[in-house]
Structure 1
Amino acid sequence: MQHLRVAWALAGAAVGFFLLFLIQAHFFGEGQLAAGTCEIVTLDRDSSQPRRTIARQTARCACRKGQIAGTTRASPACVDVQIVRTRQWCEMMPCLDDEGCDLLVNRTGWTCAQPGGRVKTTTVS
């Protein structure tokens, strides 16, 4: 009798997990992002110039109200819309932890300076 109860409990748990999976698949179906998340859609690199690599990426974001697509820790992320409006790019922490962030003079982007002296420049289009 005890084994029968355990079998029914396991069957019930399996059905419950299956229903949760179906609900999750319905609300977060393929192609949909969870609110507040981003994904990289395309990433192109051009290393044809010596000592210089140009990388262009396109991200898709599902940001919450008051947020817009931006960059945090060198990855696409949803950031406060006021950062983009005022072009205070370094406030969204776009560089890695060991890098220093500086705004470009015309505020069209930022630079991330690595400890070894290498600089990554990002411009916003």
Structure 2
Amino acid sequence: NTLPVCPSCHTHTDCTVLYTDRARKSNECHGQLVAGTCEIVTLDRDSSQPRRTIARQTARCACKKGQIAGTTRARPACVDVRIITSRQWCEMTPCLEDEGCNLLVNQSGWTCTQPGGRVKTTTVRKQA
């Protein structure tokens, strides 16, 4: 039951993604993740500002060696650790298929631009 990073965004959206990478190699029936999978642990949305929704998400992933928690097609996913360490966010294909991805100038995240011009901005910070 994973949800998109910003499931009900309005005209402009700021999203903060908090990644955790607790490696677990067990099965889901005991509350642990199968290797190579992710789940959303928390998803909070604030729509108090007009035409803007701020979403904060924490994902828990059980990534394989050489991978770390990331975002693919607006969902938590295990991605190559090189993408995260180099901050080349668009290489993990974080936007939906019909959206264009652009790095933020300071490489703190990316934007996904929809064909109609709506922009979703995602900033990343690592959580221990």
TM-score range, shorter chain: 0.7 to 0.9
CA distance in 2 between partners of 1:41 and 1:86 (Å): 25
Name the aligned partner's letter for residue 83 of structure 1.
Answer: I
CA distance in 2 between partners of 1:76 and 1:30 (Å): 21
CA distance in 2 between partners of 1:86 and 1:119 (Å): 23
Greater RCO, 1 or 2 (C-alpha within 8 Å, sep 6+): 2
- Normalized per residue, the structure richer in strand is 2
Superposed CA RMSD in Å reads: 0.8
CA distance in 2 between partners of 1:101 and 1:57 (Å): 19
User: Residue 123 in 1 paired to residue 123 in 2?
Assistant: yes
Please name the residue that 1:33 is paired with.
33
Q: TM-score, normalised by structure 1?
A: 0.78
Name the aligned partner's letter for residue 47 of structure 1.
Answer: S
Please name the residue that 1:56 is paired with.
56
> Which one has the largest radius of gyration?
1
Identity %: 82
User: Residue 67 in 1 paired to residue 50 in 2?
Assistant: no
Q: How big is the shift at 1:30?
A: 1.8
Please name the residue that 2:100 is paired with.
100
**Which consecutive segments of 4 or more residues in structure 1 shift more than 4 A?**
none
